[in-house]
Structure 1
Amino acid sequence: MGAIIRALWLRFRITSRRVSVTGGWMGRDRSQVAYGQIKEVRSIPRGFGFWGDMVLVLSDGARLEMRAMPRFREAEAYINEQIAARTPAAANGFGNPQAASA
């Protein structure tokens, strides 16, 4: 019964600003995570790779589990792109005191 309810009311929304998961009875539970809070993305394929389970590990150590997610590989790639785009400017040398002295 729980699997049927999850399939009916569980919705994933991945936007350019955040990841939202809506679920529970009649879709009343909502979790939203901004990309700046995500530290790591882990995923595993299920159902011959047609869907998968994904876990977002947050910077405070909390985890957001997303089960039976369709097109999870595309979603994982997009989330990783968004995380990389929002990381501090250390990628281009700004904010790094050793790069400024070089």
Structure 2
Amino acid sequence: MYLLEISLRSLSYIDKTQLAEIAHSIRPITRLHVSSSRLSTTTATFSSKKVNEETIFFDGGAHYGDLIEDLLLGFTLLWLPLTLATVLRAFYLRYRFTNLRVSVISGLTGHDLSDFSYEVIKDVQVVPRFIAEWGDIIITLKDGTKVDLRSVSKFREIAKYCLSMAEKPTILKKTGPKGF
């Protein structure tokens, strides 16, 4: 606020009463959040209502076991493209589940962000991998979009959490083991 007063005082056409009115009309920023695939910020103003705090349930990337498995199988030329995809997924992909939304952060700098709230979740399916140490989560949204989250650790707990946070929870559909 001090910097604002200095910059406004440098203007000769603003007197002290106008400066006081401007200073009182400015409200502090209480939260920043991302609302789309681009990083854009919105400000929430101070109010008498208590703002929901965003708490993180799970924040992590692909499971390290998937990376180790594909690196071992990568010695064969046939498995090499899958190994490359797993390495890129391990370094450039993060999943974040909070009490308000699901976020998938990807890209070299982390600027590719896809997030959605639990209210738009229609169905959640899990597919265990290896010996059920990690798995895939397929989230179907109400508009028919399917979001595939690959190699997630604690995938069963996360799927149950997503269903419990959705408006109308449905029964968790389990598919048989695939792969190894």
| TM bucket, shorter chain | 0.7 to 0.9
Is 2:176 the partner of 1:70? no
Partner of 1:35: 118
| Whole-angstrom distance in 2 between the partners of 1:76 and 1:63 | 14
Within a 5 Å distance, the mapping from 1:55-94 to structure 2 comes to 55-83=138-166, 86-87=167-168
| Whole-angstrom distance in 1 between the partners of 2:111 and 2:132 | 29
Aligned to 2:101, which of 8, 15, 18?
18
C-alpha offsets along residues 60-88 of structure 1, whole Å, 9 cap, x if unaligned?
001111000111011011111101xx34x
Displacement, 1:32? Answer: 0.3
Displacement, 1:30? Answer: 1.2
Partner of 2:134: 51
Partner of 2:91: 8
User: What's the secondary structure of 2:143's corresponding residue?
Assistant: coil
| Whole-angstrom distance in 1 between the partners of 2:110 and 2:92 | 5
Displacement, 1:48? Answer: 0.6
- Give the number of the structure whose residues are more often helix, by fraction: 1
- Give the number of the structure whose residues are more often strand, by fraction: 1
User: What's the secondary structure of 2:131's corresponding residue?
Assistant: helix
Of structures 1 and 2, the larger Rg is shown by 2
Displacement, 1:15? Answer: 0.4
Displacement, 1:47? Answer: 1.8
Q: Which runs of 5+ in 2 are unaligned?
A: 1-83, 169-180
Q: Which runs of 5+ in 1 are unaligned?
A: 88-102
Q: CA RMSD in A?
A: 1.2
4+ runs deviating over 6 angstroms: none
| Whole-angstrom distance in 2 between the partners of 1:26 and 1:44 | 29
Amino acid at match of 2:127: I
User: What's the secondary structure of 2:160's corresponding residue?
Assistant: helix
- Of 59-68 and 26-35, more deviation after overlay is shown by 26-35
TM-score w.r.t. structure 2 length? 0.45
